[in-house]
């Protein structure tokens, strides 16, 4: 076996590539290796956010079209060409992957399309090569977590990866899990006409969101899908249909479906990467890093899903910038002050920062204010019958601690709050900024101007939780 030495080794072609690109700008003569066992582009492009959003958008359109009648528009949905939706997605993704692949091959970095496994510190086995890196960046991503349910493997199941390969809408689909991947695909398939059944162990869907948000999404989802919360899947039986057996309070429920989608979370790739062989500590398989994103081996950094914190592409991109700075000697600590995320269901969900409970635990009930406004209280929200709301978590001195939105365009509306939080703008900074009347963004202004005590909010929210 040949031993190859590099200045920088990147494991993964997702956000780790930002480190590579940045490193090359500062050190154009550096020797760099880039390794990925899968198609280049990372999870986000090849089997994550991008393909999912490409196929989810038609569901959003369908939801809008179904509301058209309320606005005096008589419209008939004659058919849905699922194959065309999927082909458009695959064409775009394949072109992007090809472009990245060709770029990698044409560049001066050595690109290995192979599995990387640590064999000792700073040293990896990659196919038939031994690769040593002066500095190593681990951006090895994650994979669908498959729970150990009797009969599941035998019955067969889909993961979020497999969904992208479908050419037909299954007649019925049981989804194990109620987190954001489960909900995005559940919403999509239900709106496409599939008989969707969502089985979640927690007592509500999207259990990581504020309870009001979960309930708002659940209300809409119950109109288009069967929802089983507080149900633990205990067994799966093969057959046609397959049968998912879920237990609640000791009672068993048999849920039949043509296909099963497993979406209970993500798992690390440490079983393949074997970071411990490189002296790198992990926690449940996720790579441990300090605030500079260094692993337990000083010149080995890790970012993105691999560290198991905020598994979102925009976070991984940010982490890549921090890693790059630290590699180049500009010591920067990571700051997860304003990390937003969204769930692209109808209604859409977006969230940043602390939830009410976290804020109360940290600062005490008397130091926390809640801002609340409904979209329908704004002119534009009224016009579009936008059925959602904004919940703002504010410290008594005006510092914005968090924001949670459900409803139309939540993923855009939240950005103003993210900017404020990241740049230490207090809630008065939002109130003093003009908001176009009547744009939907007024709902952020109304929530900011409608601050109340935790107790008063509890009385108000009783009606919609």
| Interface of this chain with a second copy, residues 60 to 99, rule: CB under 8 A | 60-62, 64-65, 67-68, 71-85, 88, 92
Task: Tell me the two tokens of residue 354.
Answer: 């602390």
363 binds a second copy (CB under 8 A): no
Cα–Cα distance measured from residue 203 to residue 215, given in angstroms and rounded to the nearest whole number: 10
Cα–Cα distance measured from residue 369 to residue 390, given in angstroms and rounded to the nearest whole number: 14
DSSP bridge pairs for 5: 132
Identify residues 253-312 at the interface with a second copy (CB under 8 A). 312
Nearer to a second copy (CB atom), residue 233 or residue 421:
421
User: Nearest approach, Cβ of 31 to a second copy (angstroms)?
Assistant: 28
Contact (CB, 8 A) for 357 and 53:
no
333 binds a second copy (CB under 8 A): no
Among 225, 264, 289, 315, the residue binding a second copy under the rule CB under 8 A is: 315
375 binds a second copy (CB under 8 A): no
User: Nearest approach, Cβ of 7 to a second copy (angstroms)?
Assistant: 26
Cα–Cα distance measured from residue 348 to residue 407, given in angstroms and rounded to the nearest whole number: 5
Nearer to a second copy (CB atom), residue 261 or residue 350:
350
Among 11, 236, 324, 384, the residue binding a second copy under the rule CB under 8 A is: 384
Asked if residue 192 has a cis previous peptide bond (ω within 30° of 0), the answer is: no
422 binds a second copy (CB under 8 A): yes
Among 170, 308, 340, 371, the residue binding a second copy under the rule CB under 8 A is: 340
Cα–Cα distance measured from residue 48 to residue 96, given in angstroms and rounded to the nearest whole number: 14
Among 129, 296, 387, 415, the residue binding a second copy under the rule CB under 8 A is: 415
User: Nearest approach, Cβ of 131 to a second copy (angstroms)?
Assistant: 30
Of the ranges 17-25, 29-37, 100-108, 381-389, which one interacts with a second copy (CB under 8 A)?
A: 381-389
Cα–Cα distance measured from residue 47 to residue 161, given in angstroms and rounded to the nearest whole number: 6
> CA nearest 25: which of 304, 327, 333?
327
465 binds a second copy (CB under 8 A): no
Helices 356-363 and 454-461 pack at an angle, to 10 degrees, of 160
How far does CA 333 lie from the centroid of its chain?
A: 23
325 binds a second copy (CB under 8 A): no
Among 419, 458, 460, 465, the residue binding a second copy under the rule CB under 8 A is: 419
Nearer to a second copy (CB atom), residue 49 or residue 263:
49
Cα–Cα distance measured from residue 417 to residue 448, given in angstroms and rounded to the nearest whole number: 10
> CA nearest 261: which of 344, 141, 165?
165
313 binds a second copy (CB under 8 A): yes
Task: Tell me the two tokens of residue 23.
Answer: 């490193």
Of the ranges 32-40, 199-207, 281-289, 406-414, which one interacts with a second copy (CB under 8 A)?
A: 406-414
Of the ranges 31-39, 243-251, 255-263, 338-346, which one interacts with a second copy (CB under 8 A)?
A: 338-346
Cα–Cα distance measured from residue 401 to residue 105, given in angstroms and rounded to the nearest whole number: 45
Nearer to a second copy (CB atom), residue 119 or residue 382:
382
32 binds a second copy (CB under 8 A): no
Helix (H) / strand (E) containing 98:
helix 82-106
Nearer to a second copy (CB atom), residue 22 or residue 151:
22
53 binds a second copy (CB under 8 A): yes
412 binds a second copy (CB under 8 A): yes
Nearer to a second copy (CB atom), residue 195 or residue 442:
442
Q: Which residue has tokens 């968090």? A: 402
Taken in order 224, 267, 144, 410, the sign of the CA dihedral is: positive
Taken in order 103, 304, 278, 119, the sign of the CA dihedral is: negative
Pairing assessment for the beta strands 451-453 and 400-406 based on DSSP bridges? unpaired
Nearer to a second copy (CB atom), residue 100 or residue 425:
425
What is the SS3 assignment for 56?
helix
Nearer to a second copy (CB atom), residue 233 or residue 410:
410
Cα–Cα distance measured from residue 74 to residue 67, given in angstroms and rounded to the nearest whole number: 10
416 binds a second copy (CB under 8 A): yes
Identify residues 429-458 at the interface with a second copy (CB under 8 A). 429-430, 432-441, 444
414 binds a second copy (CB under 8 A): yes
383 binds a second copy (CB under 8 A): yes
């Amino acid at each position: 076996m040949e031993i190859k030495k590099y200045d920088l080794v990147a494991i993964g072609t997702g956000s780790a590539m930002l480190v590579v690109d940045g490193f090359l700008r500062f050190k154009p003569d550096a020797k760099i290796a880039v390794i990925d066992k899968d198609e280049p582009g990372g999870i986000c492009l090849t089997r994550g956010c991008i393909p999912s959003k490409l196929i989810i958008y038609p569901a959003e359109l369908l939801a809008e079209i179904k509301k058209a009648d309320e606005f005096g528009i008589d419209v008939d949905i004659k058919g849905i060409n699922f194959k065309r939706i999927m082909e458009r997605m695959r064409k775009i993704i394949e072109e992007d992957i090809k472009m990245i692949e060709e770029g990698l091959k044409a560049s001066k970095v050595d690109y290995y399309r192979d599995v990387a496994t640590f064999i000792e510190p700073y040293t990896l086995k990659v196919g038939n090569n031994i690769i040593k890196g002066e500095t190593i960046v681990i951006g090895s991503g994650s994979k669908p977590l498959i729970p150990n349910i009797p009969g599941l493997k035998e019955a067969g199941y889909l993961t979020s990866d497999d969904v992208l390969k479908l050419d037909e809408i299954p007649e019925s689909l049981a989804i194990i899990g109620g987190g954001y991947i489960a909900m995005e695909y559940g919403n999509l398939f239900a709106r496409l006409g599939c008989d969707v059944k969502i089985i979640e162990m927690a007592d509500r869907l999207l259990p990581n969101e504020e309870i009001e948000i979960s309930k708002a999404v659940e209300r809409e989802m119950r109109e288009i899908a069967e929802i089983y919360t507080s149900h633990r899947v205990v067994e799966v039986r093969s057959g046609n249909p397959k049968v998912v057996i879920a237990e609640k309070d000791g009672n068993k429920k048999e849920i039949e479906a043509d296909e099963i989608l497993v979406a209970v979370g993500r798992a690390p790739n440490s079983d393949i990467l074997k970071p411990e062989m490189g002296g790198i500590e992990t926690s449940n398989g996720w790579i441990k890093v300090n605030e500079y994103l260094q692993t337990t081996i000083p010149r080995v950094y890790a970012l993105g899903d691999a560290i198991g914190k905020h598994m979102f592409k925009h976070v991984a991109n940010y982490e890549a910038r921090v890693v790059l700075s630290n590699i180049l000697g500009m010591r920067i600590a990571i700051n997860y002050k304003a990390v937003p995320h969204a769930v692209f269901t109808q209604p859409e969900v977006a969230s940043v920062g602390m939830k009410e409970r976290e804020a109360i635990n940290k600062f005490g009930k008397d130091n926390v204010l809640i801002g609340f406004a409904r979209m329908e209280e704004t002119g534009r929200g009224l016009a579009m019958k936008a059925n959602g709301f904004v919940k703002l978590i504010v410290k008594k001195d005006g510092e914005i601690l968090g924001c949670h939105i459900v409803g139309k365009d939540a993923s855009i509306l939240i950005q103003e709050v993210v900017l404020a939080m990241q740049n230490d703008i207090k809630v008065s900074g939002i109130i003093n900024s003009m908001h176009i009347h009547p744009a939907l963004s007024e709902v952020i202004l109304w929530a900011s101007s409608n601050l109340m005590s935790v107790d008063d909010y509890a009385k108000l929210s009783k009606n919609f939780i």
